[in-house]
Amino acid sequence: MKKILKFIKITFITLLSIIVLFIAYLYISNKLFLGSKDDDNISYLSKNKVQIGASIDGKLFDDEFYKSQVFLLGEIHGYADNQKIDQEMLFFLNKKVGVKYYIAEMDSLTAKKLNVFLCEKQKNKAILKEVVESVKKRIPQQASQELFDKWNAVYDYNKNLADSLKITVIGIDKNFDDESKGSRDDAMVRNFENSIKKRHLENEKFYGLFGYFHTLQKKTESGRATFAAGLKDSGVKVTSMVSYTIDSEMYLPKIPQFPTPENEKVDWINADGPLMLVKGINDVKELSKPESITLFKLNAKNSPYLKSQNFITVKSRAFGENIVPLKDASATDYFQYVFLLRNSAALTKLK
C-alpha cells in the first residue's frame, strides 16, 4: 500500500512540475515574442490615432484613402464590437463617398435573401433570421444576435436614403454547390469581377467585412492566395483595415471541432496572448483605454510601419495558423489601418 501511495505521490508531483514548467515556458516565450514597448512607434501612433465613439471619426482618412475602390475590414470572428465597427464604417462610407455596394463573405443566394429583406416595405424579421441561419453554415462564430441587429439597423438606415444611395449586398463567396477548383479567395475575386461586369459597376466603390486573412493585400510565407491580394494584383486599389482585441471575449459556439465552454465564450484568444500573439501589440495597448475602440493609421508620412513587420507577424498557438510576412514586406503592404478593441463582449446566440 505504501508503495502505491508513493507512486501516486511521485506521479502527481511529476505532472504538476510539467504543468508549471509548461506555463513558465509559455509565459516567457510569449513575453519574448511580443517584445517591449517601442518609444518611436508609440510616438508615431500617438499622432495617428482616434478613439471611436458612437460613429466613425474620419480624421485619419486622407485623399489617398478615398481614392480606393474597395474598402475591407478584416476581423477575427466572434467579437461583438466588430459588428459595431462594420455597421458604422458602412454608414460612414455611404455618407462620405456614396458607397452603396456591400460585398459580403456569403454566397449569392444568402445575399439575395438579405437584399429582399432590405428592400421590402415592411420589415420581415423572419427573412433576416433565415439569413443569420445561412451564415451559420459557413461562419458559425459570426451567426449571432449582433449580426441580426446590424442588418436590422441597416434596414432602418436604408429606408431613409434616396434610391440612388440605398445599400445593396453582393455575396461573393462560393455557393455551397460550387464544385469548381481553386480556393475560396480565388472564387471571391472571380465572383467580384463577374458581379461588376454583370451589373456594370466599374465606376462604383465597395465595402465589406471579411475574415482577417482574406483582407491581407499580399501573400504571406504560406503562399496562400487572399481575396485582397487578388484584387490588388488585378489592378484594383484596396484599403484594408484589420481589428485586434485586448481583454475581450470571443463567441465560440458548440461545434464538434472545438472544445467549447458551457457559456460558449472564451477570453484567452486576444492579441497579447496567451494563445494568440501579435508582434508590436503592446505599443497600441499603451495608447488605448479599457472598454474602447481605437483606430490607428499605419501608412502616414514617415511611419515606422512602412518598414516594420509589427502587427502583421502573428503567432497562433491554438486556432488558425501563424502569419509570417514575406521577408521584403512591411505591415503596410498587408493593411493600412488597425482597430484595437478593448473589453469587447462576445457575440451572442440569436434570440
- Domain positions in the chain: 1-34, 38-342
Instruction: Map grid coordinates 495558423 to a residue.
Output: 321
Q: Give the pLDDT confidence score for residue 30 in this predicted structure.
A: 63
Q: Does residue 273 or residue 95 have the better pLDDT?
A: 95
Examine the pLDDT at 41 and tell me if it is beyond 90: yes
Confidence category of residue 243, pLDDT binned at 50, 70, 90: very high
- The stretch 266-286 carries a mean pLDDT of 91
Distance CA 217, CA 49 (A): 22
pLDDT at 147: 98
Q: C-alpha distances in angstroms, 327 versus 35, 239, 330? A: 19, 22, 8
Amino acid identity for residue 120 in this structure: E
Strands (DSSP E) contained in 252-292 are 265-266, 276-278
Residue 255: pLDDT band (50, 70, 90) is: confident
Cα angle 127-133-137, degrees, rounded to a multiple of 5? 140
- The answer to whether the beta carbons of residues 136 and 71 sit under 8 Å apart is no
Closest by CA position to 95, among listed 46, 161, 19: 161
Closest by CA position to 295, among listed 336, 337, 323? 337
At 207, phi and psi to the nearest 5? -140, 150
pLDDT in tens, 139-174: 999 999 999 999 999 999 999 999 999 999 999 999
pLDDT at 158: 96
The stretch 218-234 carries a mean pLDDT of 95
Judged against a pLDDT cut of 90, whether residue 182 lies above it is answered with no
**Do residues 296 and 48 lie in contact, with contact meaning Cβ atoms separated by under 8 Å?**
yes
pLDDT at 180: 82
pLDDT at position 37: 84
Query: Which residues are within 8 A (CB) of 208 and not within 5 positions of it... i.e. 6 or more apart?
Result: 70, 71, 72, 73, 102, 103, 104, 105
The answer, yes or no, to whether residue 80 has pLDDT greater than 70, is: yes
pLDDT at 237 over 80: yes
- Rounded distance between C-alpha atoms, residue 250 and residue 280, angstroms: 21
pTM: 0.92
Residue 21's pLDDT is 61
Residue 268 has pLDDT above 80, yes or no: yes
Which cell numbers hold the place of 311?
A: 502587427
pLDDT recorded at residue 299: 97
How far apart, in whole angstroms, are the C-alpha atoms of residue 78 and residue 265?
9
Please, what is the Cα angle at 173 between 191 and 329, to 5 degrees? Answer: 85
pLDDT at position 26 over 70: no
* 97-134 confidence digits (pLDDT tens): 999 999 999 999 999 999 999 999 999 999 999 999 99
d(CA 82, CA 243): 8
Quick one: pLDDT at residue 60? Answer: 97
Q: What percent of the chain has a predicted confidence (pLDDT) above 90?
A: 79
pLDDT, mean over the chain: 91
The Cα angle at residue 299 between residues 273 and 95, in degrees rounded to 5: 95
CB 81 within 8 A of CB 89: no
Mean pLDDT for 22-28 is 58
Q: Indicate the burial class of 152 (C-beta count within 10 angstroms; 0-12, 13-18, 19 or more).
A: middle
CA distance 74 to 86: 10
Q: Which residue has the cell 475602390?
A: 69
Q: What is the mean pLDDT of residues 228-244?
A: 97
Specify the range with the lowest mean pLDDT, choosing from 84-93, 100-109, 129-138, 247-256.
Answer: 247-256
Mean pLDDT, residues 256-266: 80
> At a CB cut-off of 8 Å and minimum separation 6, what does 297 contact?
48, 49, 60, 303, 336, 337
